Amino acid sequence: MASQAAQLIDPVAHARLRTRADEARPEYEKTVSALRVLRRRHPYVRYITSFAVHNGQCVTVLDTGETESDVSHIGDPWLPDDELASVLADEHVLCNVINNDNFGVWISGTAPIRDAEGTVVAAVTVDIPAVDSRGRPLLYNDRSRTLTATLEAAAIRFSRAEVEAITDGLTGLYNHRYLHERLGEELERAQRRGSKLSLLFCDCDRFKVYNDNFGHKAGDTALARMARIIAATSRRSDLAARYGGEEFVLVLVDTDTAGALAVAEHLRSQIELSSARSKYPLTISIGIATFPDDAGTRDELLDKADWAMYAAKRAGRNCVHAFSDGIDPRPAARPRIVPPPSRRDRRARAGQALA
């Protein structure tokens, strides 16, 4: 269905629709009318909507609405789900999506709108309700009620399982596995756009001593508090994750080293301030590496940010160090940067002295 809708949309005419005033254009009414005809041919379809990215913001363009008086307008901001964002970024999505919200269970399909060169310039979604908010079937008759109930339960379970699969149970941040997956995608996006991406590798200072002195419950509470500060420091486009143990990673998209240093220093000071008010004070050391200046791959970026974090610990802990600053944090002449050893080798040598 979404592919059929995409074929009805002229990409050139679609690109001319930029503001609400453009709804007076004949091509707007012609295309919306064609999409409404398609919807009438398929009675179960509720919405057909097209989206584009204008000035970095996903916005609606065409919307059939449930009625002609109930439509989104050109330029209305829209927060895209992962599937829509992937299609707009020309990352092929081979699935329909089942999701549930306060209005029921939905099956959604998304298709790209391509120009003559094959470039994705917009996307169109088709939304079909499976059940309403009271669990009443909309796609199936009463004999299929069991299937409908199964769909609803599966959507709820899938949503919960999906969240649990990518988040850390203690802190609520993204987990190690999802960090690696998303970081690879963000690096590919940065490479395509020619933009920078910085990674902050954060490690809680002397956390083993803290745990030994105050117990694991106090340690978990402290880690959760740090995670809240990290999440509050990040933007919606950034990626905050628990790397493991007392280590955290914050990925800053569209951010160079100077911008990352400012964010890292703010984060460090906020954690220090929060810890100062706590019964058990804690601080963090932060290392920074930037793509493509310092590293060209995901693993290299993580390794160099981690190495820079250890340089921050050598500088006395509770400070920030960038890979580009070199290995000697003293203000005297800095030696030439050489590739760092592997994380395993470096940590084996560091031992507990830098914990």
Structure tokens at 157: 């379970």
Among candidate residues 240, 268, 272, the one with its CA nearest the CA of residue 171: 240
Place 145 in a pLDDT band, splitting at 50, 70 and 90. Answer: very low
In the chain, % of residues over pLDDT 70: 76
Active-site annotation holder among 246, 247, 265, 272:
246
Residue 172 zone, left/alpha/beta (φ > 0; ψ -120 to 50; rest)? left
Asked whether the beta carbons of 79 and 125 are under 8 A apart, the reply is: no
The per-residue pLDDT for range 179-233, each reduced to its tens digit, is 998 999 899 989 998 999 999 999 999 999 998 888 889 899 999 999 999 999 9
CA angle at 299 for the pair 298 and 300, rounded to the nearest 5°: 95
Q: Residue 267: pLDDT above 60?
A: yes
Place 283 in a pLDDT band, splitting at 50, 70 and 90. Answer: very high
Q: Residue 147: pLDDT above 60?
A: no
Distances from the Cα of 124 to the Cαs of 11, 74, 75, 95, in angstroms? 11, 14, 15, 14
Asked whether the beta carbons of 318 and 309 are under 8 A apart, the reply is: no
Q: Residue 101: pLDDT above 50?
A: yes
Among candidate residues 292, 296, 325, 294, the one with its CA nearest the CA of residue 311: 325
What integer pLDDT is reported at residue 353 of this predicted model? 44
Place 108 in a pLDDT band, splitting at 50, 70 and 90. Answer: confident
What integer pLDDT is reported at residue 71 of this predicted model? 77
Per-range mean pLDDT, top range of 82-96, 101-115, 117-131, 183-197: 183-197
Across 327-344, average pLDDT: 41
Residue 57 forms beta bridges with which residues? 54
What b/e sequence results for 199-225 when a residue is b if at least 16 CB atoms lie within 10 Å of its CB, and e otherwise?
bbbbbbbbbeebbeeeeeebbeebbeb
Q: Of 135-149, 173-187, 280-294, 317-331, where does mean pLDDT reach its minimum?
A: 135-149
What integer pLDDT is reported at residue 50 of this predicted model? 94
Q: Residue 173 and residue 266: Cα distance in Å, rounded? A: 19
Across 39-63, average pLDDT: 88
What integer pLDDT is reported at residue 45 of this predicted model? 82
What integer pLDDT is reported at residue 167 of this predicted model? 86
Place 62 in a pLDDT band, splitting at 50, 70 and 90. Answer: very high
Q: Residue 12 and residue 119: Cα distance in Å, rounded? A: 12
| Secondary structure element (H or E) that encloses residue 176, with its range | helix 176-193
The pTM for the full model equals 0.54
Q: Residue 22 and residue 18: Cα distance in Å, rounded? A: 7
What integer pLDDT is reported at residue 294 of this predicted model? 95
What b/e sequence results for 21-36 when a residue is b if at least 16 CB atoms lie within 10 Å of its CB, and e otherwise?
eebeeeebeebbebbe
Q: Residue 127 and residue 108: Cα distance in Å, rounded? A: 5
Across 47-55, average pLDDT: 91
The verdict on whether 246 is a catalytic residue reads: yes
Q: Residue 246 and residue 89: Cα distance in Å, rounded? A: 34
Residue ranges and CATH numbers for the domains of the chain are: 2-166 (3.30.450), 176-354 (3.30.70.270)
